[in-house]
Amino acid sequence: MRARPEFTLHDLLHNSVASDPHRPAVVDGDAHHSYENLERESAALGGALAEAGVERGDRVGVYMEKSWEAIVAMLAASRLGAAYVNVNPQFKAPQVEYLAGDCDIRVMIGDTPKLEGLGPKTIQTAFYRGARPEGHAARSYVDVAEALDGGGLAEDRKVSESDLGTILYTSGSTGMPKGVATSQRNVVVGAQIVSTYLQNTSEDRILSALPLNFDAGMSQFTTSLRAGATLYLLRSRLPGDLLKALRRHEITGLTGVPPLWALLIRGAKSLRENPPTHLRYLANTGGRIPQANLDELRALLEPAGTKIFLMYGLTEAFRSTYLPPEEIHRSSPEQGNCIGKAIPNTEIMVITKGGQEAAPGEPGELVHRGPTVAMGYWGNEEATRRAYRPNPLAPPELLDVERVVYSGDTVKRDEEGYLYFLGREDAMIKNQGYRLSPEEVENLLLGSGLVHEACAFGVENPAVGQDVIAVISLRDGGEEAVDKIREYVIENGPPYMVPREILVRDELPKTGSGKIDRKGISSAYANG
């Protein structure tokens, strides 16, 4: 029995508190935090945020390693009617400063060393975890530990499902990340849908191995919150730590991206000798698992009762499809990369270039219709109009008010309705579960001041999805500049954006219209 209808993220919290206040909501290291604690501390932090001037509709940044405080921060913002913006903890100052400007983050909750890395006056108020930060990233500082001890909000603000719930940043083709504005309704319905097909209950112990800024990582938290389950935060994804966490906490559910499975499989011997019998399901997202890894995972885990879900999602619509465990044989080298069928309460259309529904077997663009379709890209009308379009199959009498998401992914549907991923139209690179625009890598390279022209592209590497390769020409100087460029990129960008190889050419080939010929350069690379 749910005490409240589910409209907002904090409605999910209140229901779980009502049904079992003492159950651990979050386990971070050795600390167990009950649902009651989550309610109390999110009210306390909410009160402190309100005192710092956070209004309904404001954006609150969360720039920290995955932690209890990061979880509390999301709920604190939600209870104020503010949107939380989970910043990739791997981001360096240039990306974070851009984000803070892009969606006007005035209050940021962060780890001290991360806040110290930001330029002067990036934000107004910093809530720090750790020692008081040095430097001038903010005008005023509040200690998170003190805020969590405070009196807090007397009551939640009036918040509706139509309010902005969060902004999920994803790689953008303008060279900087773009924010997907996601409503409270998107977040809540996403949790309802995912917890329905994964059949989550309060008995679940879910291992959080993905970052919270990533849609699937956030989804693990929201589904756990809705189910009243326990979320175990894991920062290290090293094989030894994964194995220990699975066993020690008797984990029942784990969602990850392909590189995580490769790490888990490194522990194959140990898994074979001592299988994680409590693991009810394992769910993959963020790209295809290399077949050899999938076969090995199945061989290692299915005999012990683990079910494997293959999922596909777009940040623009949170989650889109999944292949249920009993159909997993459909994803195979012969049949292709099967991504299953639409998640509950969602329709997936395959639309041809001519705007018609594709026939079985005919390639078309995956178009997503349903309640998780987000509000659009924050502050970017042009990109929003490109991706969020009227439903092509709606009857004309309904005018064009409904928006669906055009994914940019090419798929086909078989006679039985199963969808197969074929590829992407654009040049997006898929690296370590991240969708990365080559422009963003090129922009970072150019930022070094040493690069004249840059071209980045992806090269297949089953272990990580695609490796990032960069071909550049130099402003001046010789090959020794490459070390400096590399150093700059490492210091100013997240690890998945650092090219595996940086190759120098005198000049980069251009297309007829004078643009750098990315296709030509990448196929020349592929051909050696």
Partner 1 sequence: MVSSNTDARTAIRGWLQENVTGGRDVPDDEPLIDNGVMTSLQTVELVVFLEDTFGLVVEDEEFDEENFGSIEAIARLVESKAA
- Provide the binding-site residues for partner 1, judged by CB under 8 A: 65, 89-90, 111, 113, 235-241, 243-244, 259-260, 263, 266-270, 432, 464, 486-491, 495-496
For the chain, the straight-line distance linking the first and the last C-alpha, in angstroms and rounded, comes to 62
Distances (CA, A) of 100 to 74, 80, 397: 17, 19, 42
Min CB(487)–partner 1 separation in Å: 4
Min CB(226)–partner 1 separation in Å: 28
Min CB(309)–partner 1 separation in Å: 22
Segments in 423-517 forming alpha helices (H): 438-446, 481-492
Distances (CA, A) of 477 to 165, 447, 489, 504, 508: 48, 16, 18, 11, 17
Cβ proximity of 128 and 81 under 8 Å: no
> What is the rounded CA–CA span in Å between residue 120 and residue 98?
13
Nearer to partner 1, 37 or 432 (CB): 432
Min CB(266)–partner 1 separation in Å: 6
Min CB(489)–partner 1 separation in Å: 8
Q: How many CB atoms lie within 10 A of CB 155?
A: 7
Nearer to partner 1, 4 or 484 (CB): 484
Nearer to partner 1, 28 or 156 (CB): 28
Contacts of 123 (CB under 8 A, 6+ apart): 61, 100, 105, 106, 107, 108, 137, 138
Nearer to partner 1, 26 or 243 (CB): 243
**Residue 168: exposure state from Cβ atoms within 10 A (0-12, 13-18, ≥19):** buried
Nearer to partner 1, 211 or 370 (CB): 211
Min CB(399)–partner 1 separation in Å: 48
Phi then psi for residue 267, to 5 deg, are -95, 30
Nearer to partner 1, 23 or 500 (CB): 500
Min CB(191)–partner 1 separation in Å: 26
Nearer to partner 1, 410 or 492 (CB): 492
Cα torsion 251, 256, 260, 262 to 10°: value is: 100
Question: DSSP letters of 208-222?
Answer: E-S-TTSHHHHHHHH
> What is the rounded CA–CA span in Å between residue 93 and residue 334?
45
Q: How many CB atoms lie within 10 A of CB 393?
A: 14
Nearer to partner 1, 158 or 269 (CB): 269
Min CB(426)–partner 1 separation in Å: 25
